[in-house]
Amino acid sequence: MSPAPVPLPETALSLTGVTVAYGGAPVVEGLTARFPAGSMTAVIGPNGAGKSTLLKAALDLIPRQSGEVRAFGQPLPQMRARIAYVPQRAAVDWDFPARVIDVVRMGLYRQTGLLGRLTPGLKSRAADCLARLGMQDFADRQIGALSGGQQQRVFLARALAQGADLMILDEPFAGVDAATEAAIIGVLHALRAEGRTVIAVHHDLSTVPAYFDRVLLMNRSLVAEGPTATTFRRPLVAEAYGSQLLTAIPA
Amino acid sequence: MTDAFLSALFLQAGYNATLVSIGAALLGLATGSVGAFLTLRRRALASDAMAHATLPGIGLAFLAMAAHGGDGRNLAGLLLGAGLTAALGLFLLQRLTTRTRLPEDAAIGAVLSTFYGAGIVLLTVIQNLSLGRPAGLEGFLLGSTAGMLLSDAMLIAGGGAVILLILALLRRPLAMTAFDPDHARQMGVNTRATDTALLLLTLACVLLGLRVVGLILIVALLITPALTARLWSDRIGIVALLAGGIGAVAGHLGASLSLALPDLPTGPSIVLLVFAAFLASLLLAPGNGLFSRRRRTAPDPA
């Protein structure tokens, strides 16, 4: 990855009136939000709030009923190369004959294309991405021989190898061990320091202020969006969750 | 008989026999390699449905060619007919799985058995037509090198080479689509086109294998080398190459056996050889064999 931040237009991702409905009740309703470049945003809401759905619809992984999505000022399909998506738990066959380093190298497909050679430069880039997640010693292991947290780190390394400017993650910290969580947040903060943008569906309210500088609160529709300090407050979060239990959050 | 086998094995049995052996080896190479990607993509049984669906096409092509006064046994013509009904069977399979609530395995069984039954009926009709000489179409059931023409062997060898070339060109999208289709799509891979290409490559393997291995057993030549290779390597490239190698050796050995023992159907010989390789690998492969143990899943660090 290049050390110098890439100059970017102001908004990494902009959603306007996004509605997603599975043949009936809307799961996401008229959501409008702007994710500034260089920010790290937590998408927060109760179960069934449509958080994962919102991200998948934004990336055209599932169909939108209405709404517009732009990335870096352009329609999404044109910017796909600059966006990396890390799903919650990749539904892959863990017995697949692939080593850890092979999975990471799949993130380099845009660089090599169909027949391009995997240059030594690209190979070391993949190795570096793996090392950034602390997984360099596992490069030659078959992916099924890893724990859940280690597998998650490999998929993040794959996303890193893309060199994307916008990283979108679905619950990256769900069910991972402490070492993995530390490794992941370290990498995400480093990306932000490089001027890249991070958006993550996040479930652990207690870590929001430490990890994220912006939040998007939603429960099917938008509740609030903005910097953590002003937006992640008890009344707004309670509104999103519909309860008042949130003693960890300053009022 | 041993002399005949050994001379066929070492390509000493004459030009025709040599070409048959080489053709069978190339067929095994192509089929084993394609089968590696096919099994990883979890579409192995669709190939069985395709293979069984070729039979009515063979019969129809024979009748069409004989009716026009040509040689009903022209291989290219028969393969064309076979390809058409196989494609039809595949099309019906897709419709059944996407448009009805029928589960995929039931749909495969339905297509496979219906087409095969229709094909057997056609074959029986052809046999009873007393066209002056036996049609020899039963050879397509279990494979036979008997009476194989030079042009047949060249068709198979050439087709195998083309399949291998296309497979080499598409190896990255095929691997990525098999491993993680959503991610592949994100990376700009056209997964629908890749899946279609895989099915077409498989169809080509089925058609080329009809003469040597037969439609009943071609699925084994697609699946078993891949399963065997998987026991030896954790890298998809190596698995595909090994699977091809196993297929090639089995093809060559099986064809040599068949040249020495003309009554022995080629398909079963080849398949039993591949299975022997699989059994040996199951017992002996380091890390994966029954006689070695390797912990597959590590616990989460504390």
Cβ-Cβ contacts under 8 Å for B287 (sequence gap 6 or more): B294
The stretch B233-253 carries a mean pLDDT of 95
Mean pLDDT, chain A, rounded, equals 89
Check pLDDT > 50 for residue A180.
yes
Among A43-47, A174-178, A188-192, B23-27, the least confident range: A174-178
Quote the pLDDT of residue A242.
78
**Measured between alpha carbons, how far is B32 from B244 in angstroms, rounded to an integer?**
4
Residues A106, B234: C-beta atoms closer than 8 Å: no
Put simply, the chain A residues between 28 and 47 with a CB less than 8 A from any chain B CB are none
- A97 interfaces chain B, CB cutoff of 8 Å: yes
pLDDT category at B288 given cuts 50, 70, 90 is: low
Question: How close B91 gets to chain A, by Cα (Å)?
Answer: 26
A196-248 pLDDT, tens digit per residue, is 999 999 999 999 999 999 999 999 899 999 999 999 998 898 888 875 455 55
Residues A59, B186: C-beta atoms closer than 8 Å: yes
Reported pTM: 0.87
Nearest CA in chain B to A150: B300
What strands lie across the sheet with A74-75, from one edge to the other? A26-36, A11-21, A66-71, A74-75
| B154 contacts B26 by C-beta, under 8 angstroms | no
| Class of domain B2-292 as given by CATH | mainly alpha
Q: What are phi and psi of A169, to 5 degrees?
A: -125, 140
Check pLDDT > 50 for residue A152.
yes
Query: Which of A86, A92, A167 to mutate to test binding with chain B, by most B CBs within 10 Å of its CB?
Result: A92
Residues A97, B170: C-beta atoms closer than 8 Å: no
Residues A149, B301: C-beta atoms closer than 8 Å: yes
Chain A, chain B: beta-carbon pairs less than 8 Å apart: 87
Out of B184, B233, B299, closest to residue A97 by CB:
B233
* Token pair 């490089």: residue: A194
* ipTM field: 0.83
The stretch B130-151 carries a mean pLDDT of 77
Residues A102, B178: C-beta atoms closer than 8 Å: no
Spell out which residues of chain A touch residue B301, defining contact as CB-CB under 8 Å. 147, 149, 177, 179
Quote the pLDDT of residue B12.
74
**Measured between alpha carbons, how far is B202 from B219 in angstroms, rounded to an integer?**
10
Cβ-Cβ contacts under 8 Å for A78 (sequence gap 6 or more): none
- A62 interfaces chain B, CB cutoff of 8 Å: no
B3-56 pLDDT, tens digit per residue, is 777 777 777 777 778 888 888 999 999 999 999 999 999 999 999 999 999 999
Q: What is the largest CA-CA distance in chain B?
A: 79
A82-116 pLDDT, tens digit per residue, is 999 998 877 788 889 999 999 999 999 999 988 88
pLDDT category at B182 given cuts 50, 70, 90 is: confident
Cβ-Cβ contacts under 8 Å for B208 (sequence gap 6 or more): B27, B30, B31, B79, B155, B156, B159, B160, B163
**Measured between alpha carbons, how far is B245 from B234 in angstroms, rounded to an integer?**
16
**Measured between alpha carbons, how far is A72 from B76 in angstroms, rounded to an integer?**
55
CA angle, B279 then B281 then B283, to 5°: 75
Q: Which of B203, B237, B233, B235 is nearest to B218 (CA)?
A: B203
Quote the pLDDT of residue B122.
92
Question: How close B180 gets to chain A, by Cα (Å)?
Answer: 6
Quote the pLDDT of residue B229.
96
* Tokens standing for residue A155: 């998929």
What strands lie across the sheet with A214-219, from one edge to the other? A83-86, A166-170, A197-201, A40-44, A214-219, A221-227
Spell out which residues of chain B touch residue A116, defining contact as CB-CB under 8 Å. none
